[in-house]
Structure 1
Amino acid sequence: MRKIDFKRIGLILFFSMAIGLVVGSIDFLFGEILLQIGQVRNPNFYKIIPFLAPIGLFIIFLYQKWGKNAHKGLSLIFEVGHGSQEAIPKRLIPLVMVTTWLTHLFGGSAGREGVAVQIGATTAHHFEKYFPEERTSNLFLLIGMSAGFAGLFQTPLAASFFAIEVLIVGHYSWTAFIPAILAAYAASWTSHFLGLEKFQHLLTNQLDFSLFLLLKLLLLSAALAFIGNAFALLLKKIKDFLAKTCPNPYYRIFLVGLLLSLVMFFLPEGRYAGLGTNLIEASLKGEFISSYDWLFKLLLTVLTLAAGFQGGEVTPLFSIGASAGVVLAGIVGLPFEVTAALGYITVFASATNTLLAPIFIGIEVFGWTHSPIYVFVIAIAYFLNRKQSIYGGQRVPY
C-alpha cells in the first residue's frame, strides 16, 4: 500500500493558496484598469480610434525589443504544459498587461481571459522553483491557469475545470483538481475583496420539459456550435493568411489596424470595441440587439487578434454567443434571456473544445435552475466540434 505523503500534499496546498492570493491581486489590477480604460474610450471613441494602427506598431516594438518568446502568449503556456518548452519569462506578465490595455484603449475588439491565464501560469511557473521537488511544472501550470481565470471572472469551479481539461481534448488532469480549485477560490476571493466585481445574471424564466423543448435546444445548440467553430476556424485561417501575405509584423498590424479604424469609424460608436460586455448586457436585459451584432463582433475580434493586437478571445465569445442567442430566440421560440445565456456558454464551449468548464460557467453566472439544459446544449455542441479551437497549442488525440 502506497504511503500518503502528507507533507508534500500540505506544501502543494500551501503553494496553491499563495499562488491564488498573488494572481488574484494581479488580476484585480489588470481588470480594474481595463474597466477604467473602457470608461475613457467610450465617450472619446471617434477621437481615439484613428490611433489604433500606430499603437499596433508600438505593441510589436515592445515584444520585439523585450519580449523574446513571450510573443507566443498562450501558445507558450500550452507548449510548457505539453513539455516542449521549459521556461516562461517573467516579462510576459507586464508585457501582456500593458499591450492589452493599449489594444482596448484605442478601440481594438479583444478580450481578457487569455491575459489572465497567462498571468496565472507565469506566476505559478516561477513559484514552482521554490517547491522542494522536481518535475512538478505541469501541476503548477494548471494551478496558475485556474487561478488566473478565476481571479478575473470569479467563477472558481469553472476555472478549475477549464485548467484540467483545456490542454488535451477529452483528457482531464484530475490529480491537479484539488490544488487548482483551492488556488481558484483564493484568487477569486482576493480579486473580489480588493473590489473587482463579478458578473452574474440569474435567470428567471422557467421552461417546461418536453420532447419539443429538446428539439428546440438541439437546433439552438447546433447553430451556436457552428458559430463557435466559425470563430476558431476564421481566427486560424486569417492568422495564417496574414502571416503568409504580409510576413512583416509591423506592416501587418499597421495595415489591419487602419482597416479596423476605418470600419469601426462608420459603425455605431464603439459598439464593437473592447470586450463586448455592452452586447452581453443588452442581450440579457432585452435591449436592442441587431441581427448582425454577433457577426460584426466576431469578424472584428478575429481581425484584431490575427493582426497581432493583444487580448483574449473568451469575453468576445461570450458577447458573440449572447447576441446570437437573442437572434435565434425568435427562430426556436424560446425566451431571449435563456437563449442569450445559452449562447454565452455554448459558443465559448465550441470555440475552446471544453465540456465541463462552460457548464459550470452557466451555473456560476446564470444560476443552478437551468443546469440540466446547460448540460444538454453544451454536450451537443461539444460532440459537434472537438476539432476546431481558438487555442493552437491544444492537442486533439484523434
Structure 2
Amino acid sequence: METRKRPFTIPVLAWTLRAVIMGCVVGPAIALLTYLVALASNIRAANPLVLWAIPIGALVTTLLYQKIGPYLKEGSSQVIDMINQGILDIAHPTSIGYKQDHSAHQQRISSKMIPLLLVNTFITHLVGASGGKEGVGVQIGASIGSIMGRIEERVLNSPKPIHQKGIWLISGAGAAFGALFNAPIAGTLFGMQFSNPKVNRTDALLPCLVASFTACIVSQAMNMKTLVPVKATSFALDLKTIAMLLILSLIMGLASRLFCHLIHLTKAFFTKMTPNPYKKAVLASTMLLLASLIINGISGSSAYNGLSIDLILEAEYGTTSALAPLYKLILTALTIGSGFVGGEVIPILVIGATTGSLFASFMPIPVSALSMFGAIGMLSGSTKLPLACFVLGLELYGFGNPTALFLVCSASFIFSGRLSIYERQIIPDGLDASWDV
C-alpha cells in the first residue's frame, strides 16, 4: 500500500503569529463595515425619502460591478471553490481531477473586492434595501487572508500549496464571522465548515481559533456594536416539550427551504426576464421599492427595510406583527434579486425570530426561547451548519437551554432540504436528494 505524509498538521508557532496578525487586521475591517452600515442606516432614518432612491442604488451597485469587475459579484462562490480545491489537494493530490483543475490553483481573491464591498454595502443600507452585512464581512475576511498569504509568499519567495492558501481563507472568513457577532467559537466553526460541511478542516483549527478570538477582542476594543439579544429564558424539558420543539423544528426547516428556494427562484426569474444587468437591476429594484412602500403603508413602519435588528428584539417580547416574517422574506428576496449586496444571515435571523415568537400562544415555552429557536433553527437549515449555529445560539442567547437548542438546530437542518444560501457549498450526503423541490 502506498503511503505518504499527509499535511494534517501545521507549524504551531508560525500559524499562531499569522493568525494574531490576521485578527488584528480583520477586526478593524469588520468594525469599519459595521460603522458604515450604522451610518447609512442613521442617514436613512433621518431622511425617510431616501427610500425612493432604491432603483438608483441598484443601478449604481450594478454599474460599479460592471466597471470594476463582474466576476467580483461571485466573491463568496470563489472563496468556497478555492477552499474546496485545497480539500481536493489534501485528499487526491495526483488525481486526474486535480490536474484538470490546475488552473483553479492559480486563482486568487482580488484586492479590489474589499473597497467595492464596503461601498456597495453602504449603498444597500443607505437606500433601505433589506440586506445584512455578514456575507460581505466573510468575503472581506477571506480577501484579507488571501492578501496576507500572497504577501508572505512574495516576501519569503516561497509559493504555498493550495490547501495552505485555503487555511488563510478559512481563518479570515472565520475571524470576520466571529467579529460580526462577537462570537469567536461560532466564527471558528463557521470558518472550518462553511465551504464544505462534509469536511471539518481541523488543520485550520488553530489559526482560525486564534484569528477569530483576536478579531473579536480588537473589534470590541474599538467599541463595535454587535447584536445583543435578550437572554433566552430557561425551561424544563419533558417529552411533551420535546414533541413541541420537533414540530417547531419542522416548521423552521421548511421555512429555511422556502427561503433558499425563493432566493434562487428570484435570481433566476429576473435573469430570465432580461440578461441585461442594468435592466434587471431597474426591474427588480422597482418591484422592491413598490413592495417597501406597500409594506410600510400597511404596517406603518419602515422597520422591515435595512437590517431590521429591532424586529429580533421585539420578537423576544412577542410584540411583532404576525405578518412580520412574510414582509421581511419578500423584501429580502427582492433585495437579492436587485443585485444589492450585504448578506442573508441577519435577514434569516429576523425571519426566524419573528416566526418563532408566533408560537408563544400555542406552546408553553417562553417567547424569548421560541424566538431564539426560530432564529437559530432557521439559520441552521439555511446554512447547513448545525454545529456552528448551535454555538452561535449559545454565545448570543446564553446557556439556558443547550439541549433544546441542539435538538432544534439538528432537526431544522434535517428538515431543510438540500439548498443552502451558499450556492457552491457542498451539501452533506445525509440529506435525501428526493426531498428537494
SS of the residue aligned with 2:63? helix
After superposition, what is the alpha-carbon deviation per residue over 1:90-145, rounded to whole angstroms, capped at 9, x for unaligned? Answer: 01011011101101100100011100100000000111120556111111110011
**Alignment-derived partner of residue 341 in structure 1:** 372
Relative to structure 1, the CA distance from residue 63 to residue 212 in structure 2 (aligned partners, 3 Å threshold; closer, same or farther) is same
Deviates more, 1:363-372 or 1:236-245: 236-245
1:204 Cα offset (Å): 5.3
Instruction: Return the letter of the residue paired with 1:16.
Output: A
Would the alpha carbon gap of residues 44 and 91 (structure 1) be closer, same or farther in structure 2, given more than 3 Å must change?
Answer: same
Per-residue deviation, 1:317: 0.6
The farther-off stretch of 119-128 and 380-389 is: 380-389
Where do residues 66-85 of structure 1 align in structure 2 (5 Å cutoff)? 66-83=68-85, 85=104
- RMSD between aligned residues: 2.0
Q: Does 1:10 align with 2:13?
A: yes
Bigger CA radius of gyration: 2
Structure 1 pair 336–357 and aligned structure 2 pair: CA distance change class (3 A)? same
- More deviation in 323-332 or 7-16? 7-16
Q: Which aligned pairs between 1:226-245 and structure 2 lie closer than 5 A?
A: 226-245=254-273
Report the residue type matching 1:62 in the other structure: L
| More divergent stretch after superposition (262-271 vs 86-95) | 262-271
List aligned pairs for 1:74-153, cutoff 5 A.
Answer: 74-83=76-85, 85=104, 86-129=107-150, 130-131=152-153, 132=158, 134-135=160-161, 136-153=164-181
Pick closer, same or farther for the CA change 1:128–1:42 going to 2, 3 Å.
Answer: same
* Structure 1 residue ranges (4+ consecutive) displaced by more than 3 angstroms after TM superposition: 4-7
Relative to structure 1, is the Cα distance of residues 209 and 243 closer, same or farther in structure 2, using a 3 angstrom cutoff?
same
Aligned to 2:245: 217
Aligned-residue identity in percent: 27
Amino acid at match of 2:51: I
- AA of the residue aligned to 2:37: L
State the shift of 1:396 in Å.
Answer: 2.0
Compute the displacement of 1:35 (Å).
1.1
Return the letter of the residue paired with 2:185: L
Q: Does 1:282 align with 2:314?
A: yes
After TM superposition, give the deviation of residue 368 of structure 1 in Å: 1.2
Specify whether residues 384 and 204 from structure 1 end up closer, same or farther in structure 2 by C-alpha distance, changes over 3 A only. closer
Provide the residue aligned with 2:383 in structure 1: 352
Q: Distance in 2 between matches of 1:193 and 1:79?
A: 33
Report the AA paired with residue 195 of structure 1. Answer: N
Partner of 2:335: 304
User: Which is further off, 175-184 or 74-83?
Assistant: 74-83
> Whole-Å Cα distance in 2 between the matches of residues 310 and 204 of structure 1?
31
Residue 377 of structure 1 aligns to which amino acid in structure 2?
A: V
Deviates more, 1:183-192 or 1:5-14: 5-14
What amino acid is the match of 2:61? I
Aligned to 2:206, which of 178, 184, 187? 178
The whole-number CA distance in structure 2 between the counterparts of 1:311 and 1:264 is: 18
Counterpart contact for 1:20–1:187, Cα < 8 Å: yes
User: Normalising to structure 1: TM-score of the pair?
Assistant: 0.95
Q: State the partner residue of 2:57.
A: 55
Give the gaps of 5 or more residues in structure 2: 86-100, 430-437
Shift of 1:266: 2.6
1:284 to partner: Cα distance: 1.6
Partner SS state of residue 235, structure 2: coil
Q: Distance in 2 between matches of 1:220 and 1:330?
A: 13
351-360 or 201-210: which moved more? 201-210
Q: CA 1:366 to 1:204, structure 2 compared with 1: closer, same or farther past 3 Å?
A: closer
2:362 aligns to what SS in structure 1?
A: helix
Task: Identify the residue that residue 363 of structure 1 maps to in structure 2.
Answer: 394
Deviation at 1:202, TM superposition (A): 4.9
